[in-house]
Amino acid sequence: MAVCVDGFEGVAFRVVGPETAYDDATGDPYETGMVYVVALGDDYRRLVDGESIHEIADEDFCHQCGQIGCQHDGRD
C-alpha cells in the first residue's frame, strides 16, 4: 500500500509500522499514534502523525522515482 503524507506533497511513501512506547506503570507496549514511513526510492525512515497519512491508488505514483503524478510509472 502506498500513501501520501501531509507536508510531503508530491511524494509517495510506504508505511513501515507504528511507533510504540511502553507504559511507565505497567510496562505494557502501546501505539503512540505516530507512524514510520519511507519515501519510495529512499531508505530514510520518517516519523509522522498517523492522521497525516492518506492511501493513494497504485497507478497514481511512479514506481521508479516515487513521485506522484510522474508520467513514467517505472513499470513496463
Residue 74 has pLDDT above 80, yes or no: no
The pTM of this model reads: 0.85
Distance CA 6, CA 46 (A): 13
Cβ burial 42-57 (10 Å sphere, 16+ → b, else e): eeeeeebeeeebeeee
In the chain, the DSSP E strands lie at 2-5, 13-22, 29-39, 45-49, 53-56
Q: pLDDT tens digits, residue range 5-56?
A: 999 999 999 999 999 999 999 999 999 999 999 998 889 999 999 999 999 9
